[in-house]
Structures are given as structure tokens and as C-alpha cells.
Structure 1
């Protein structure tokens, strides 16, 4: 006969109900008791029945993760595997599994989330994006279903738990770096303006230009997909201008790599012909040639904090909304250089 909860309780010197509470990670059980019970479980080879526990707790022991596009597109960008690594590390530690939802369109994404919620497949959901007037967020709020956003909500910010960076400050600081090198014609390449992260980073870029007395020009702003192909498209548009930029602020490292590749095809080199700064500090940013100067947003930590916040909300429905800001820092590498012939003094 296998080891039972009663056997574990006897070995740990606690009641069987205490063992059950330890398995459910009940917050009122002391850490010392949890350690004692878990040690007894390990020594005796006791493994809780996950299905029975889920039924008893009315829990799926699963977290839903929603990506902002189809998996084949999203996973081309190293941001998503890295943030998933942070989420899964905490989920594994807390005995949760992950269920991914994607979609080519907003309708498909909403339908996927509705299936997860209505079928009780997940206990809570993490959104790996934030956009304006998102039907997924509206649905989750209507259902009073636990969820966390990686990013900043466009509305009801005090009601929604979210984990983010200060992207406005990041955009401002990285643009100031180009300005300090004498660049005055500085362009911005970002994703859709429906995405809050794009809006915030562009706002920081605008602030830095205005503080330096530099123009904020429509023709110097290009919006495209957060992919290499998006960066390549943006280069074509910007270098068709009568006065192309000498500096670029790019809202995503993968787009930056597309820009570098496209410039090489046009016989232009970074940073000799164009200085580039970027965001995210994905692993590619350090090994590309040249290595990118980029805002390190600590992607893994975003995932860790989002998972912790969501599991706390799942375990306690009265948990108040939180705003977690993960600090950024700038990795200065060799994709920028001084502009040797500025057009005017700042």
C-alpha cells in the first residue's frame, strides 16, 4: 500500500489536515511547518494526487498566458521566450502549469481567452502585452477573473495589477544619449501606436527632443511590426527622406537587427553612417555586429513578478491591485558614435 497523508502527518508530527494545507500552500501555515512536512513527504516518497487536489480546491493548477499575436510570429522575438522563462520558473516552484493562448486577430485572441475562462482550464491569466481598448481586458474585468498585465493598462490603471518598466523614462534617457553625442536628426521606429509600450517609449523620445530644442517630426517616426522585417521596412522609408536621420531610437532589439541588416545591404554601416539605440537587451543584442546600445528592461524579472502577482491573486481574491515597476538600466555598447558634423548647436 502506498504512503498516505496520515503517514506523512504522523512522521512530521502534525495533523493530516495540516499536511493538506501544506500541499495547498495555505498562507496561515508557518514556513517551519511547511519545511517539516515537505521534508517528510520527500523522505517517504509521497506525491500528492494533482487531479484530486485540483477538484478539492476547484483549481486547475494552471496559468493562462496570452501572447499578442500568433505563436510563430511572437516567438520569433526573443522577448517572449525570456519572459516565459521567468513565468515558468515561478509556476514550476508553485506547482502550476502553463497554457498558452495566441491568435492572428483580436477576435481569435478573445475567443481563446473565453475558452480558457469558461472551461475552467486556468486559475488566472497573464497578458504579455497592453493595448488600447483591448476586448480581452474588458472581458476579464467583466468576469472578475484574476489576471495580470505585463505592461501598463490604458485605462482603469488603479484596478488592474500590472508589471512594467518606466518606459517613458527609458525612452527619454536613451534618446538623450544620442543627443549627447551630437545627433540632431534622430528618428524613432516603433510598433503599433495601439500598444502602450510603443506610446510610452515614443513619449520619452519626444520629451528628450523637446528638452534639447530639437524638432519632433512626423516623417521621422515609423511604426511597424516588432520583427526583423519591420526594421528593414522602416529603413527604406527613412532613407528615402531628403534629410535622413543620423541617429535612430528603435523600440525593440529584433527590429534593430533588421535595421542593421538592411543598412548593410545599402552599403551603410553602424555606427559610422548611423547610430542606433534600442530596447529590451535580448541575448541577440550583445552578439550582433555591432553589439547594440540598448535599454535593459530585465525581461526575466518581468515574468517572475507577473507570475508571483497572479498566483497571489488566485490564492486570495481580495488581493488589491498592484503596480510593480521593474527598474531598467542602459547597456552602452558600440552601435553609437559621436556625430562629427552636427547641423547646429543644441
Structure 2
């Protein structure tokens, strides 16, 4: 026997119209009432007839999560995207929304997938999990006034785009300063992505920390082609770094293995700090010192801001910054070397 709206209303002590508005996440209902009604719905096992509701409103009750082109093993294996989808799915479930994922090996195919999802009304809006320059996907969403939230900082139209992000320049600065405070003076910034905004912001932060300390900066060490891995040995010999700031935990693991091949030991003669505080930071010893960007909160807030747009509670651009924290582990030690 299925539970009815009347039964939910009775137990919650509200009108049936209030229950209906809660189901539709109507802005006229307070958050306290919404929580109370949703709790009763969960206790009674009430499931709204989403299909019937959507038919009348011409909506899909679904969110599209757009992943960046999965064009490398690092991208395919990066837990950031899975953790983001998990957080979006959990938050969307609170308002009876489902989640669809758009992914592809390249931007052209990804754009076609997003267009199809939109034109066939499979989703009501999108969450982008990345930010790159000259992205055809974000251009399509922006130009067609399709509701979306960006996880990351946009390259343009910042005043009109809703986005959720960490302060990546501050992340880069604090990670580098952490090394400087421990006596490191020859520090390299290492990355396997150069299109994403987070690279530029974290690298700017790296430069800022070193310049403020009166220390030399170096160009970002970029791994984009197979020969870059071979060139890394020469870079280590030339610069003689005692520490590395690496773009994320997964890539930090690879760089640590590579450095080991070239005779470096982490952290004995090469300290490493990275970002995300993902599962990879504690898979093998030495555990990686990493800055936790709170992926779950990024996904949760991105979903909430998209829902605000879908319910006409948000009509202009807005920026939401998520706090971060440094997790000290085993890959950073005091530098006692003199070069």
C-alpha cells in the first residue's frame, strides 16, 4: 500500500499543499519546514510520483554532471570527479532529483553529448566539474542561457556565472609557503594540466610565495608529452630542487616514482606537497602531505546553487569559496641541504 501526500501532511502537521510545495522545492516554504516534511517522507517511505509531476511541468527532474574530456589515465583515475558525482547525487536526492553524467574523450564529442541532453530535455541544468579556457561546452551553456553551476573559476563572464571554488591562488601560496617555512629555497611547481584555471591560480600562488620570500621562481614543469618524462631528469639535475609542489595527489604519486628512478628519495632529499587529499595520498608510504579542498562541499554547494537557479531564486552570477586545510603527513621534512 503506497503512502499518500495526505498521510505525510498529517504526520508532519502541515497542509497537503505544503507537502506538494516541499516536493517541488518551492521558495515560499522555509528550510526548517522542508527539513521536517522530508524527514517524515523518509520515515514513511513516501516516494513522489516524479514522472507525473514532470509531465505537467515539462521538466526532467535531473541534473547533468559534465566531466572534462577523459583523455588520459590520470583523468580517468582521478577520484575528484567520482567524489564530486557522489556529493551531487546525495544532495540532488534530497529534492528528488536524479543525476546524469556527460563524459567523452574530447571536447567536440562532449559538446554533442551536452547538446543532446539539453535538447531532448533529459536534464534541467548542468554542473561543470572543471574550468578550461576556450571551452565550447561552457560557451554553449552560457550563450543559450541554460542553467549551470561551474566548479572552478570561469575565464570570462565571471559577473554572470554561478561558480563554486576554492581559493586556488591561496592554495598554491600556502603550499609553497609551507615548504619555505621548512627551509626549502629551490622549489619547483609540477603539473600535468595547463588548460585548467586551477593550474594558473595555483602556479600564481606558488610564484607569489617565493617572490615574497625573496626566492627564485621557475617555470612550471609541465608533463604534456611523453618526452617530458625524460626531460624531468635533466630538470632535476639543473635546478637541484629540494621540494616540489604538485598539481594533485594522483600525479604526485607518479612524480614520486619518477624521482625515485632518478635517484631521489622522498622525503629524505626531496619533499613533496600536493592538493585534494584524495585516497591516493595514503595508498603507499610515504603518505603525501596534501591540501584538502573539501570535494564533498564543492559538489553539495554546486548542486544547491543550481537548484536556486532552477527555482528562480538566483538570477545573477555569484561566487562561493569553499575553505581548505593542510593535512601534514610524511612527504615534507625540514631542509638541511645546502646547494
The aligned residue for residue 327 of structure 1 is 323
Aligned to 1:222: 221
1:190: Cα distance to partner?
Answer: 1.6
Inter-partner Cα distance in structure 2 for 1:188 and 1:12? 56
1:61 corresponds in structure 2 to 61
Q: Partners of 1:190 and 1:239 in 2: how far apart?
A: 15
Please name the residue that 2:247 is paired with: 251
SS of 1:239's equivalent in the other structure is helix
Structure 2 gaps, min length 5: none
User: What's the TM-score once normalised by structure 2's chain length?
Assistant: 0.89
**Unmatched 5+ residue regions in structure 1?**
none
The Cα shift of 1:234 comes to 5.8
Taking the aligned partners of 2:118 and 2:291, their CA distance within structure 1 comes to 35
Contact 1:191 1:251 in 2 (8 A): yes
| 1:13 to partner: Cα distance | 7.2
1:74-113 correspondence to structure 2 within 5 Å: 74-113=75-114
Deviation at 1:75, TM superposition (A): 4.0
Given the superposition, is the C-alpha separation of residues 117 and 267 from structure 1 closer, same or farther in structure 2, using an over 3 Å criterion? Answer: same
Deviations 1:149-200 (A, max 9, x none): 1000011111101110111111011111212222222111123322100000
* Conservation of the 8 A alpha-carbon contact between 2:191 and 2:247: yes
What is the CA deviation profile of residues 266-299 of structure 1, one whole-angstrom value per residue up to 9, with x for unaligned ones? 3431011211111111122134311111111111
Q: Which residue does the alignment assign to 2:337?
A: 341
Supply the distance in 2 between the matched residues of 1:119 and 1:157 (Cα, whole angstroms): 28
Partners of 2:80 and 2:37 in 1: CA distance: 38
1:114 positional shift: 0.7
Q: How does 1:162-173 map to 2 (within 5 A)?
A: 162-173=163-174
Q: Distance in 1 between matches of 2:258 and 2:307?
A: 43
Please state how far the C-alpha of 1:7 moved relative to its aligned partner. 6.6
Q: 1:8, CA displacement in angstroms? A: 5.9
Aligned twin of 2:21: 21
Q: CA RMSD in A?
A: 2.7
Deviations 1:181-235 (A, max 9, x none): 22222111123322100000000011112112222223xx22236xxxx9x9766
Offset of residue 83 of structure 1: 1.7
Distance, in Å, in 2 between the alignment partners of 1:169 and 1:286 is: 24
Q: 1:50 to 1:237 in 2, by over 3 A?
A: same
Change (3 A) 1:107 1:35: closer
Paired residues in the alignment total: 336
Once the two structures are overlaid, the 10-residue window that deviates more, 208-217 or 298-307, is 208-217
Shift of 1:135: 1.1
Q: Which moved more, 1:122-131 or 1:2-11?
A: 2-11
Question: What residue is the counterpart of 2:282 in the other structure?
Answer: 286
Q: Counterpart in 2 of 1:240?
A: 234
**Separation in 2 of the partners of 1:234 and 1:39?**
54
35 and 156 in structure 1: CA distance in 2 versus 1, 3 angstrom threshold: closer
**1:40-55 to 2 correspondences below 5 Å:** 46-55=46-55
Displacement after TM superposition at 1:3 (Å): 5.8
Segment drifting more, 116-125 vs 287-296: 287-296
Cα offsets for 1:99-150 (capped at 9, x unmatched): 1111111111111111111111101100000011211111111111100010
Distance in 2 (CA, whole Å) between partners of 1:255 and 1:321 is: 33
Q: Contact 2:149–2:162 (CA<8 Å) still a contact in 1?
A: yes
Structure 1 position 338, deviation (Å) = 2.2
Distance 1:10 1:341 in 2: 72
Alignment TM-score, normalising by the size of structure 1: 0.87
Per the alignment, residue 134 of structure 1 pairs with 135
2:291 to 285, 291, 295: 295
